[in-house]
Amino acid sequence: MAQHFLMSAAARTLSLIDLCDLSEDAAHKMLCEMRWEDADGAPVCPHCSCPAVYTYRCRRVFKCKACHRQFSATSGTLLAHRKLAFRTLLMAFSLFVNAAKGLSSLQLSRNLGLHAKTAFVLLHKLRCALTSNSATTTLNGIVEIDGGWFGGYIRPENYRVARIDRRRREHQNGKRLCVVVMRQRGGPTVTTVVKHEAEAVPIIRRRVARGSIVHADEARAWDDLHATFEMKRIDHGQAYSANGACTNQAESYFSRLRRAEIGQHHHIAGPHLDQYAGEMAWREDMRRKATGAQFNACGRAVLGHPPSRRWVGYWQRHLQKEELRQAA
């Protein structure tokens, strides 16, 4: 019997042990190679794109010969103004990508000796970088769609006769949100978070190219898509796949997201559900890649993303103050 790729040595090209013996200079060099990959790790000024820079001996910073501005390997990125060591950041990348079902902030804080708040914000910065390109992704060919409810858990009543079906709309408390996944077979996975599945119909029409074949279950919310796409519907009460209709890949995504919610995070707040959903979409798309490839992809995404207004000064509520000022 052929060996599964994830069980082979080819899938294990980088581990935490490989990073433990790195010096701070070696970790800094690795980050530079991630950020300036096209220049083979040679620093390029983020302000004027000049490749001619001075290198300081006493500090790991550079100075542009053209605009005379100083910058570092993390300037102008999601990791700007960081206080963590470069080796610690690389270890955080490795722990994050190697966690198949996600990584909680408490677990990361214990593994690296960080404050829980530091780990929480760092992980959300990683999710922000990994989900940034999904906003412009267009799916085509055969696309599977499905919806699942997450968050807002309510403890069931003790006696069975007092319990109600929380899946029904009239029994929702407003905290549970619907994650709708659009998964192209052999291609990328895109997610969106809505209150009800029907609200995702116009989003699906924008994100899925005309001429695509859409597979969906028998939920009434997808009936309106028949006017736009060739639809194949499957009744899961009868079978998982029948007459060429199947949404197993979309269900596979929900299985990963559900395991992350139950086994890792235990609770996902509604305002952050979109980032957790996008993270699991990235993990599904990268599941056949070696650990080293995932590590490099994560690092390049973070170092290629500008600072996030959502996660800069999060605990000081800087974003809320800015929104209130704009509203005034």
What are 50-86's pLDDT values in tens digits?
Answer: 999 999 988 999 999 999 999 999 999 999 989 999 9
Q: How many CA atoms lie within 13 A of 126 on its CB side?
A: 30
In percent, how much of the chain has pLDDT > 70? Answer: 92
Do 54 and 74 lie in a common domain? yes
User: Is 214 within a domain?
Assistant: yes
Query: Using CA atoms, how far apart are residues 123 and 110, in angstroms rounded to an integer?
Result: 14
In this structure, how many other beta carbons lie within 10 angstroms of the beta carbon of residue 201? 17
CATH number of the structural domain spanning residue 141: 3.30.420
pLDDT tens readout for residues 81-123 = 899 999 999 999 999 999 989 999 999 999 999 999 999 999 9
Residues 6+ apart with CB under 8 A from 300: 34, 35, 37
What is the pLDDT at residue 211? Answer: 93
Which amino acid, residue 174? G
Do 54 and 66 lie in a common domain? yes
Structural domains of the chain, count: 2
Greatest mean pLDDT range, 126-140, 235-249, 292-306: 292-306
Identify the DSSP state of 262.
I
The mean pLDDT value of the chain amounts to 90
Q: Which domain holds residue 47?
A: 19-130
Query: Using CA atoms, how far apart are residues 84 and 27, in angstroms rounded to an integer?
Result: 12
User: Is 307 within a domain?
Assistant: no
Do 146 and 237 lie in a common domain? yes
Q: How many CA atoms lie within 13 A of 243 on its CB side?
A: 10
Do 101 and 194 lie in a common domain? no
User: Is 167 within a domain?
Assistant: no
User: Is 299 within a domain?
Assistant: no
Q: Are 299 and 29 in contact (CB under 8 A)?
A: no
Do 192 and 60 lie in a common domain? no
Q: CA triplet 147, 152, 154: central angle to 5 degrees?
A: 115
Nearest to 181 by CA among 208, 233, 144: 144
Q: What's the average model confidence in pLDDT over 245-260?
A: 94
User: Is 36 within a domain?
Assistant: yes
